[in-house]
Amino acid sequence: MSWRLSCTSDAAAVLALHRELFAEPLTTAQFRRQTRGYDPLFFWVDRPEEPSPAGYAVFLRRNGEAELWSAAIRPERRHQGAGSFLVDASRRELAARGCSRLKVSASNRWPVWTGMLFKRGFRLLSAEPVRDGDDYRLVLYTELRKRREMRLALTERCNFRCLFCHKEGLGQDRRRKPTPVEQVLEILAEAIRLGYTDITFTGGEPLLEKERLLALLEGLGRGPDKPDLTLVTNGSLLDRELVEALCAYPGGKKIHLSLHAADPETFRKVTRTRRRDLFERVKANIRLAAASGLEVKMNHVVLRDLNHTRTRAAVELAHSLGAAAIKLLELLVLPENPSDYRLFYDIDAVAEDLAGIVAGPPERKNLRQRIFRLQADARFTIELQRLTCSIGCGHCRETRDRTFGSDMHYHPCFVRSKRRLAVSSPADLERVLREGDRLIDGYAAHFGDSSPTLIQREVYVDAKREFFFRLDSMPDFREFLKSRGFRAAAAVGFYEEYYRPKQRSAQWDRFERVLKIGWDHHRPGRIELLYTDHRYTPHPKLGLEVATRFLDPAGPMRFAGIEQARRFLDRLDFERFLALDWQLETWAKNGLQANLGAAAGCASAKVCGPPETAMRLLQSVRGYPGRLEPLCEPLPAFLQRKACSVSRSRAIQHAAP
Does a structural domain hold residue 419? Answer: no
Does a structural domain hold residue 447? Answer: no
Does a structural domain hold residue 57? Answer: yes
Same domain, 375 and 519: no
Say if CB 405 and CB 411 are below 8 A apart. yes
Does a structural domain hold residue 433? Answer: no
61 backbone φψ class: left, alpha, beta (φ>0; ψ -120 to 50): beta
Is residue 656 predicted with pLDDT exceeding 50?
A: no
Q: Which residues pair with 67 in a beta bridge?
A: 60, 103
Q: What is the DSSP string of 428-492?
A: HHHHHHHHHHHHHHHHHHHHTT--SSS--PPPP-SEEEEEEEEES-HHHHHHHHHHTT-EEEEEE
CA distances to 309, 516, 523 from 495, rounded to whole Å, are 19, 10, 11
Which of 91, 108, 143 terminates a domain? The answer is 143
**Torsion sign across C-alpha atoms 224, 61, 63, 137:** negative
How far apart are alpha carbons 543 and 561 in whole angstroms? 37
Which of 115, 143, 171 terminates a domain? The answer is 143
Using one digit for the tens of pLDDT, what is the confidence trace for 333-360? 877 777 787 888 988 889 888 988 998 8
How far apart are alpha carbons 224 and 500 in whole angstroms? 73
Provide the pLDDT for residue 38.
Answer: 86
Question: How far does CA 262 lie from the centroid of its chain?
Answer: 22
> Who's near 103: CB < 8 A, 6+ residues apart?
65, 66, 67, 68, 125, 139, 140, 141, 364
Same domain, 112 and 154: no
Same domain, 203 and 322: yes
Is residue 200 predicted with pLDDT exceeding 90?
A: yes
Q: How wide is the angle at C-alpha 84 spanned by C-alphas 398 and 26, nearest 5°? A: 95
- Nearest CA-CA partner of 507 in 551, 470, 539: 551
Is residue 170 predicted with pLDDT exceeding 70?
A: no
| CATH number of the domain bearing residue 256 | 3.20.20.70
Same domain, 648 and 500: yes
* Strands across the sheet containing 198-202: 358-364, 369-374, 377-385, 325-329, 295-301, 253-258, 228-233, 198-202, 149-153, 402-404, 409-411, 421-422
Same domain, 185 and 292: yes
| CATH number of the domain bearing residue 645 | 2.40.320.10
Burial 95-127 (b: 16+ CB within 10 A, else e): beeebbbbbbebeeeeeeebebbeeeebeebbe
Average pLDDT over residues 253-258: 95
Same domain, 216 and 128: no
Q: State the pairing for strand pair 198-202/136-143.
A: unpaired
CB burial of residue 546 (10 Å; 0-12, 13-18, 19+): buried
Expressed as residue numbers, the domain containing 525 is: 463-652
- Nearest CA-CA partner of 273 in 164, 167, 160: 160
How far apart are alpha carbons 383 and 347 in whole angstroms? 10
Using one digit for the tens of pLDDT, what is the confidence trace for 212-249? 999 999 999 999 989 999 999 999 999 999 999 999 99
Same domain, 170 and 58: no
- CA neighbours within 13 Å on the CB side: how many for 184? 27
Q: What is the pTM of this model?
A: 0.71
Number of domains in the chain: 3
How far apart are alpha carbons 601 and 588 in whole angstroms? 24
Same domain, 63 and 181: no
DSSP H or E run through 11:
helix 11-22
Quick count: other Cβ atoms within 10 Å of Cβ 465? 17
Does a structural domain hold residue 376? Answer: yes
| CATH number of the domain bearing residue 59 | 3.40.630.30
Does a structural domain hold residue 226? Answer: yes
Same domain, 616 and 585: yes
Same domain, 36 and 106: yes
For residue 2, which phi and psi values (nearest 5 degrees)? -90, 155
322 backbone φψ class: left, alpha, beta (φ>0; ψ -120 to 50): left
pLDDT above 90 coverage of the chain, percent:
52
Same domain, 282 and 376: yes
pLDDT category at 174 given cuts 50, 70, 90 is low
How far apart are alpha carbons 380 and 326 in whole angstroms? 8
Same domain, 524 and 641: yes
Does a structural domain hold residue 450? Answer: no
Burial 218-232 (b: 16+ CB within 10 A, else e): ebbeeeeebbebbbb
Which of 143, 177, 212 terminates a domain? The answer is 143
Is residue 622 predicted with pLDDT exceeding 90?
A: yes
CB burial of residue 477 (10 Å; 0-12, 13-18, 19+): buried
Average pLDDT over residues 195-224: 94
Does a structural domain hold residue 579? Answer: yes
